[in-house]
Amino acid sequence: MREIDVDTMSQKVHILIFAMLFSSAVLNAQCPNNDTLCKRIAFFASSSTIPANEKLKELLAWEKQAATCSTLPDTTRASLLNRIGSVFFARGDYMLAIQYLQKSIKITATLAQTSSAQSRVLIKKYFDLARIYDSLQHAGKRLVALDSCAAISARINAVDVYYLFALYARVQYYFDIGDYNQCISYAGFCGKLGQQYTERNPGDQYDTGTWYTFSSLGWIVNSFLRMGDYDSAEKLLANKVEECKKSGLNNYLGTVYGQLAEVKENQGNYVEALTLYKQALSWEAGWGSSYNCRVILNNMGVLYGKRFNNTGQSLVYYKKALWYDDTKANRNRLDTLEMLNTASNIGYLFAQQNEFDSAFSYFQRSFDCIKTGIAEDDILHISLEEFARQKKMNYLTDLLINKGSAYLQQYKATGQKQVIESAVRLFKIADKLFDHMRNEQTDTGSKLFWRKDARRLYEPAIEACYLLGNTTTAFYFFEKSRAVLLSDQLSQQRWMGENDILNQTQLIKKINRLEKGLNAGIRSASNNTITPEIFALKQELDHWEQQIKTRNPLYYQSFVDTGFITLQYVQQTLLKKNEVILEIFSGSKAVYALLATTTQKYLTKINKQDFEQCTQLYISYLSNAGLMNRKFDDFVNTSHHLFNLIFKDIPLTGNRIIISPDGQYFPFESLITSNENKPVTYFIAGHAVSYTYSARFIMNDFINEPTTGGRDFMGIAPVNYPSSFSLAALRGSDQSLYKIAGYFNNAVNRVTSHASRNNFLQQFSQYQIIQLYSHASDSSSNNEPVIYFADSALYLSELVNEYKPLTQLVVLSACETGKGKNYQGEGVFSFNRGFAALGIPAAVANLWSVDNTSTYRLTELFYKWLTKGLPTDIALQKAKLEFLETASKEKSMPYYWAGPVLIGKADVINMHTSYSWKWIIAFAGAGFVLFGAVRIWGFPKNKT
């Protein structure tokens, strides 16, 4: 081996150490002096005379030195980067400004973890970042920066102008995209903080806090007005005129008078509304607000046209609004949008008078307000970023619907086919715009409002398809008119993993718990529905949802395609031999029915008044045993008439029918198909019936792999209930469960005290089939459906699950589980729909209260047929037919057997039944006997 020269090695080590020390000294010598640098940064911040290029030259040189310096304080380094970004911003170099500001934010964010002072600095930096994004017209990124600004302010309780501005930006944004419930929540919170700001800053000469407080109230009132909640708006406006005058806030009087006028107009006090509009116009004209004057004049035009039926005077006010103070110097973005709305209203007015040239001229004027020369087709090419920048999106949807309706009116006047084809094309574009809006909204209540509002699109669209004889396109609008939010939920779940679902559920539970504790009843302006804690949780939930979209590039595309499914695809994929799908649309003027088989399709129009009266009478008989018994002949006539209304122009074939109703369900099973003076024959005799929220729902793939080993069946029967519920005991429900469990090898029953709310919520997702014997109601003190357990109640809003369920079927053998509030355009929010939203493909629910013995018998028969391997719809059909065959004359009435209905997929549910094991044991026993016989006696020898 070679020997190591110790002396030489020692010399080298000393040289290396010396070099390192020398290098460190040189580097430190290159570090800028902290005090000097801080003074220069402060000087450049206050100086407006030094050219930006000179500032940058020196600042960038400082940055170069700072980059090689390890001793410069992070606060100074962040301040230097921030000042460079500010100079780039002032020079118009926005991308470089963002780059440097984000570097500064990164350093400050680390410092802010342990310093409230740095947290305040960070708030200002996020505010500046939002300003830069605003200059680039990046509306989405601007809001994200402002959200960060607000989140930090909330965390350190810094009620400052940045916090108020950030919240107010959200208020305006939510209103513009139609997220009115979120607008109300955030505006209430912003107004409350505005009051706190005023109290903490009594010397504020501009009274910033009061401005935010009063302006936020205005947005709340506007949101209530937009959603048609005029009583809430009126309560908020009470005494506001006197308050404004007493406080010297006269610049708000025009807004208050205008809002009061809208309330009175929609309450039917048209003369008083007109007086209030004139007062509002006088105040706004005095303040020189051209935009507000346009709004008031436009509203007066609507009042004259729709309420006084005076089209001439209506047109006068519309034109005044359009031309009011029309100078480029005074016109801003809001002015232009109000002109868009007014021109659209004028176009609609001319179309109703069959003056189509004038109508379409004004419609084009409306489109020019967006961009000169733009047309409806160009709307679809607006980017998401541009879409997020739009204000008052309802004006744009109104324009598209108005123009489409004008084409429809022109077709009725001229009979030109290309005209009605243009109407259908416009309605499709409007529908796509509604999709974009839904993607931007976060609050379910706001989405439900827009689903209802979109009905004014789908009715003329379906009418146009009916007149055109285009059943295929009509089916598109049928599907888009129902349960789209449910499809959105299921689409989102497909992109979510178990951790995503768990995080979402935990956040939703926290928000629901806090909001229920905060509200404890009726929402009002003084009862704000958002607190700093709720605000932070909602931000976290929004951020989480954005991450889902970012991680999955195809998420957005799947979202906007929700509800779109072609009729041809349904015929080829969903429908099999002897299967039929029937969808019903109930509009304000007519009812339409669309039926499809594998090869045929039909679209018919039904008299609305006759249909609704007959349906109401039919349901009243079905849900009242005494009434049905006394007037059974009348029931038969009503039932048969309803059957003819629906199917008179549709040849009904096939023995399995899928029905997608519009709103509340009524059972087709008990419709009378036999003619007068013939023995009563029910629809159920020839058809297995299932119901669905939409065709798209039953075409979803609901296959979910269990996180742990799953079981076939869980039964729930509380039997007895807490005395506070005042509910009768369901005697015999536990015995019925034990009978049903005999059909399964792998079954668990939870009865009496074990049938608790928590046991149900924690365990149901692990079982393929859930059977629930209990009491329920479609309404409660919370104004939502409720199911009762042995210890407590479960409300529909509380039905959230932390895991993807294995469950394929829930049988809700409780009264009224198939009922709930009907949200027009979306459907009935019942417990079966709640389970569907969790990803459970099918439920059996009751439409009315039925006596216990009939319920137990029908349920037991259903499982008898289901475990024979039949599809769920056929199993339920056979159960009802067997019930009819064996029931007494009284209990053969539909009241006793037609209530349970199958909603969702009608598939075979694969499971291990007790019978299968018995056969396996029997065959195994026979095999052992045969094997033993062979061993003892041997095989018989062949004779030759």
3-state secondary structure string across 199-264: HHCCCCCCCHHHHHHHHHHHHHHHHHHHHCCHHHHHHHHCCHHHHHHHHCCHHHHHHHHHHHHHHH
Q: Which residue has the higher pLDDT, 517 or 46?
A: 46
For residues 451-479, give the mean pLDDT.
Answer: 95
For residues 759-787, give the mean pLDDT.
Answer: 86
> What H or E segment, with its residue span, contains residue 793?
strand 793-795
Q: Is the pLDDT score of 6 beyond 60? A: no
How far is it between the farthest Cα atoms of the chain?
Answer: 125
Kindly tell me the sign of the dihedral angle through the C-alpha atoms of 82, 88, 92, 98. Answer: negative
For residues 436-460, give the mean pLDDT.
Answer: 85
Average pLDDT value for the chain: 85
Q: At what angle do helices 52-67 and 74-91 cross, to 10 degrees?
A: 150
pLDDT at 9: 47
For residues 465-487, give the mean pLDDT.
Answer: 94
Q: Which residues of 603-633 are buried (b: 16+ CB within 10 A; e: fewer)?
A: bbbbeeeebeebbebbbebbbebeebeeeee
CA dist 65 and 60 (Å) reads: 9
Q: Is the pLDDT score of 375 beyond 60? A: yes
CA dist 442 and 852 (Å) reads: 42
For residues 420-446, give the mean pLDDT.
Answer: 87
Q: What residues have CB less than 8 Å from 785, skipping those under 6 apart?
A: 776, 777, 778, 779, 795, 796, 816, 817, 819, 820, 829, 830, 831, 834
User: Per-residue pLDDT tens for 883-936?
Assistant: 999 999 889 999 999 999 999 999 999 875 444 444 444 445 555 545 554 455
Structure tokens at 598: 């594998």
CA dist 582 and 574 (Å) reads: 13
Percent of all residues in the chain with a pLDDT value above 70, rounded to a whole number: 85
Please check whether residue 296 is in contact with residue 325, taking contact to mean a CB–CB distance below 8 angstroms.
no
Q: What residues have CB less than 8 Å from 567, skipping those under 6 apart?
A: 471, 472, 475, 476, 596, 601
The number of beta carbons lying within 10 Å of the beta carbon of residue 323 is 12
CA dist 311 and 301 (Å) reads: 8
Q: How far apart are the first and last CA of the chain?
A: 94
Contacts 24+ apart (CB under 8 A), 507-515: 507/537, 507/540, 507/541, 507/544, 508/541, 508/800, 509/800, 510/537, 511/537, 511/538, 511/541, 512/797, 512/798
Q: Is the pLDDT score of 86 beyond 90? A: yes
pLDDT at 440: 76
Q: Which residue has the higher pLDDT, 522 or 730?
A: 730
pLDDT at 497: 63
CA dist 46 and 69 (Å) reads: 26
Alpha-carbon Rg of the chain, whole angstroms? 35
Q: Is the pLDDT score of 452 beyond 50? A: yes
Beta bridge partners of 656: 579, 688
User: Per-residue pLDDT tens for 823-838?
Assistant: 888 888 888 888 898 8
Structure tokens at 867: 């475990």
pLDDT at 539: 73
Kindly tell me the sign of the dihedral angle through the C-alpha atoms of 157, 160, 164, 169. Answer: negative
- Provide the 8-state DSSP code for 672: B
Using pLDDT thresholds of 50, 70 and 90, give the confidence band for residue 636.
Answer: very high
Q: Is the pLDDT score of 480 beyond 50? A: yes
pLDDT at 18: 39
Q: Is the pLDDT score of 166 beyond 90? A: yes
Q: Is the pLDDT score of 16 beyond 50? A: no
pLDDT at 944: 35
Using pLDDT thresholds of 50, 70 and 90, give the confidence band for residue 1.
Answer: very low
Beta bridge partners of 795: 786
Q: Residue 54: exposed, middle, or buried by beta-carbon count in 10 A (0-12, 13-18, 19+)?
A: exposed
For residues 579-588, give the mean pLDDT.
Answer: 95
pLDDT at 498: 62
How far from chain centre, in Å, is Cα 591?
Answer: 26
For residues 268-289, give the mean pLDDT.
Answer: 93
Please check whether residue 609 is in contact with residue 615, taking contact to mean a CB–CB distance below 8 angstroms.
no
CA dist 549 and 495 (Å) reads: 9
Phi-psi region at 390: left, alpha or beta (left = phi > 0; alpha = psi -120 to 50): beta
Single-letter amino acid, residue 297? L
Query: Pairing mode, if any, of strands 747-751 and 767-773?
Result: unpaired
- Provide the 8-state DSSP code for 662: S
CA dist 31 and 348 (Å) reads: 71
How far from chain centre, in Å, is Cα 248?
Answer: 42
Helix (H, G, I), strand (E, B) or coil at 511: helix
- Provide the 8-state DSSP code for 497: -
Q: Is the pLDDT score of 443 beyond 60? A: yes
Q: Is the pLDDT score of 259 beyond 60? A: yes
For residues 281-293, give the mean pLDDT.
Answer: 89
User: Per-residue pLDDT tens for 205-224?
Assistant: 678 998 999 999 999 999 99
Sheet holding 793-795, edge to edge: 776-777, 786-788, 793-795
Kindly tell me the sign of the dihedral angle through the C-alpha atoms of 125, 130, 134, 138. Answer: positive
Q: Catalogue the E-assigned strands of 703-744.
A: 711-717
Q: Which of 158-167, 302-311, 606-615, 815-824 has the lowest mean pLDDT?
A: 815-824
Q: Which of 279-293, 430-444, 705-719 has the lowest mean pLDDT?
A: 705-719
pLDDT at 14: 47
Phi-psi region at 865: left, alpha or beta (left = phi > 0; alpha = psi -120 to 50): alpha
Please check whether residue 206 is in contact with residue 197, taking contact to mean a CB–CB distance below 8 angstroms.
no
pLDDT at 781: 66
> What H or E segment, with its residue span, contains residue 813?
strand 809-813
pLDDT at 335: 79
The number of beta carbons lying within 10 Å of the beta carbon of residue 75 is 17
Please check whether residue 812 is in contact with residue 776, taking contact to mean a CB–CB distance below 8 angstroms.
yes
- Provide the 8-state DSSP code for 775: -
pTM: 0.81
For residues 737-750, give the mean pLDDT.
Answer: 93
pLDDT at 578: 78
Tell me the CA distances in angstroms from 144 to 49, 133, 393, 399, 647, one per residue in order. 34, 10, 21, 30, 54
User: Per-residue pLDDT tens for 523-543?
Assistant: 444 444 567 777 777 777 777
Please check whether residue 535 is in contact with residue 148, taking contact to mean a CB–CB distance below 8 angstroms.
no
Total number of residues shown for the chain = 944
- Provide the 8-state DSSP code for 33: P
Q: Which of 322-326, 613-617, 795-799 has the lowest mean pLDDT?
A: 322-326
Structure tokens at 403: 């123009």
Kindly tell me the sign of the dihedral angle through the C-alpha atoms of 838, 843, 847, 853. Answer: negative
